[in-house]
Chain A
């Protein structure tokens, strides 16, 4: 496990943030960290709390995949841009 800085954008907000995450974090955990800086601050909460999901280069990442697993499959440099949005997919 290691701290790793990413650029986290919550879809709908106007600005991405510097988000410190851990390589052992799952995408669910990363989504929560990214959302915590936008949702309830400048982006309104959604009724029914649909949860969040993570996209990398437009590709939806499985909720239980860790950042370390993503990094093993492709090059991820510090400050890589990740998108997070309210969950749209039922089986993610």
Chain B
């Protein structure tokens, strides 16, 4: 007689034994497990709600795969991609180049959970997480490979993380820290709970909705399918937080506070410009800030309250950054567009500007005046003055430009000397993150450090573009060839 699922499930996911031939501290070293300071028996309370068996997992995943592939093939035959707005398409270039290999890094992180997590229930769920992330990598690769014939930028799904393109370095730096350099507990709090359960909603729900509205059903469908997996394996974060809060609440608070700020900065770069500038105006669902407030801010506040933690000390600064950070990243990426592997839309035509001012009441004073000078140069035939001549100064924590966290009115030096070297930060918050664990971050060289250290030759912007792996066929330029600026051109005189 076959057993019912409930008869065997707990045994199957909680199978463990007492080690006798090896010291448990060697089999599960604290530097990998992150369980230091938490009694071994405390992990018995670790539980998650999805309760997936391997048989169920395979069946469900097979159905998801079949659905994604059917949509992809049907749309490929219909030639939908060729009809998409080019500004929207840039968002998919950006996503594939900066996300595909992150999915692959996540395979390694989940593998660490499978092997080193301090409870068998977690190790069991980690197996599904590992398979999920393998699937996501393959989905991105297949999507990009199918479209490679339409645009060589899709090659960057695989290539980007093998280059030194500055934005990719920033993304890689974050996930090296939150996935590969983190023990299981840190990774669960930073990646599973903060990124996957929180911030990926912006990329995989909001951007999926924008993509659907833009007619990019294939990409939207892919994002949504990935998100169904994220929702499950992100559950590794909550029980880990529950155990850690009980035994080391200070560590839990610090880990979450660092991860939340670093995630904010990352998604201000990856998703903010795509939502508020690349998505065609009539297809936008919500502003980036509105989505952040509804899906991230409320969500994070609730988690902190539920687990007895405090809001980060920088909460007010974070809310101020929501008004500004992605606008800074957008004008910066547009101005330094030859350093991108996608073609950004300026997104500041008169109609778009009206929308920006409605959504962000301080936009005109903080950002509009800077765009006015760019617009003047474009309309008076001085496009060369809208192109970069040197590198922006970069933050030694986020690897993003100094000044890209807040507005120009807030810009102030945040620098400190550590072991004889001067480090720069994009905000007081990033400096605080660095100060929590300076050895963790001090060795990394930003692109600017590499430039002045003689690693980039010739030592000029051209040398930097070559160092970043940017070639003419993918190098960024204004996606509409400055047509949007004609809104502001003086009316021709008769």
Q: How far is the CA of A17 from the CA of B391 in the complex (A)?
A: 6
B165 to chain A, nearest CB (A): 17
CB of B402 within 8 A of CB of A41, answer no
CB of B417 within 8 A of CB of A18, answer no
CB of B422 within 8 A of CB of A77, answer yes
Most buried by A among B377, B386, B389, B392: B392
CB of B404 within 8 A of CB of A18, answer no
Name B314-373 residues within 8 Å CB distance of A: 328, 331-332, 335, 366-367, 369-370, 372-373
- Surface stretch bound by B, among A6-14, A22-30, A66-74: A6-14
CB of B328 within 8 A of CB of A37, answer no
Interface size class of B (residues with CB under 8 A): 35 or more
B166 to chain A, nearest CB (A): 12
Q: How far is the CA of A43 from the CA of B408 in the complex (A)?
A: 11
Q: How far is the CA of A76 from the CA of B453 in the complex (A)?
A: 17
Residues of A within 8 A of B403 (CB): 9, 13-16
Checking A17, A43, A80 against B373 with a beta-carbon cut-off of 8 angstroms, the contacting residue is A43
Check if A92 is an interface residue, CB within 8 A of chain B: no
- Chain A residue with the shortest CB-CB distance to B371: A42
CB of A41 within 8 A of CB of B377, answer yes
Most buried by A among B332, B367, B391, B402: B402
Residue-wise interface mask of A (31-59) relative to B, using a CB-CB cutoff of 8 A (1 in contact, 0 not): 00000110011111000000000000000
CB of A15 within 8 A of CB of B332, answer yes
CB of B370 within 8 A of CB of A42, answer yes
Instruction: Assess A37 versus B401: contact at CB under 8 Å? Given A12-B408, A13-B370, A44-B373.
Output: no
CB of A42 within 8 A of CB of B373, answer yes
Check if B78 is an interface residue, CB within 8 A of chain A: no
Q: How far is the CA of A84 from the CA of B411 in the complex (A)?
A: 13
Checking A17, A79, A80 against B392 with a beta-carbon cut-off of 8 angstroms, the contacting residue is A17
A16 to chain B, nearest CB (A): 4
CB of A81 within 8 A of CB of B404, answer no
Q: How far is the CA of A15 from the CA of B411 in the complex (A)?
A: 8
Residues of B within 8 A of A19 (CB): 390
Interface size class of A (residues with CB under 8 A): 20 to 34
CB of A7 within 8 A of CB of B374, answer no
- Chain A residue with the shortest CB-CB distance to B417: A77
CB of B386 within 8 A of CB of A15, answer no
CB of A77 within 8 A of CB of B331, answer no
Name B446-466 residues within 8 Å CB distance of A: 448, 451-452
Check if B393 is an interface residue, CB within 8 A of chain A: yes
Instruction: Assess A9 versus B377: contact at CB under 8 Å? Given A18-B391, A41-B385, A77-B417.
Output: no
Check if B407 is an interface residue, CB within 8 A of chain A: yes
Q: How far is the CA of A44 from the CA of B407 in the complex (A)?
A: 17
Checking A16, A40, A80 against B422 with a beta-carbon cut-off of 8 angstroms, the contacting residue is A80
Instruction: Assess A16 versus B402: contact at CB under 8 Å? Given A78-B422, A78-B452, A81-B415.
Output: yes
CB of A7 within 8 A of CB of B370, answer no
CB of B451 within 8 A of CB of A18, answer yes
Q: How far is the CA of A27 from the CA of B165 in the complex (A)?
A: 33
Check if B253 is an interface residue, CB within 8 A of chain A: no
Residue-wise interface mask of B (143-169) relative to A, using a CB-CB cutoff of 8 A (1 in contact, 0 not): 000000000000000000000000000
A-B contact pairs, 21 of them (CB 8 A): A14-B328, A14-B367, A14-B403, A14-B411, A15-B392, A15-B393, A15-B401, A16-B393, A16-B402, A17-B393, A18-B392, A37-B389, A37-B390, A41-B335, A41-B377, A41-B385, A42-B335, A42-B370, A43-B370, A77-B417, A81-B415
Q: A18-B390, A77-B421 are in contact. List 14 more A-B contacts (CB 8 A).
A: A5-B448, A7-B415, A7-B424, A12-B408, A14-B370, A15-B332, A15-B401, A16-B403, A42-B373, A43-B373, A44-B369, A44-B373, A77-B422, A81-B415
10 nearest CB pairs, A to B: A81-B413, A14-B408, A77-B422, A15-B403, A42-B370, A16-B393, A5-B452, A7-B393, A18-B391, A15-B392
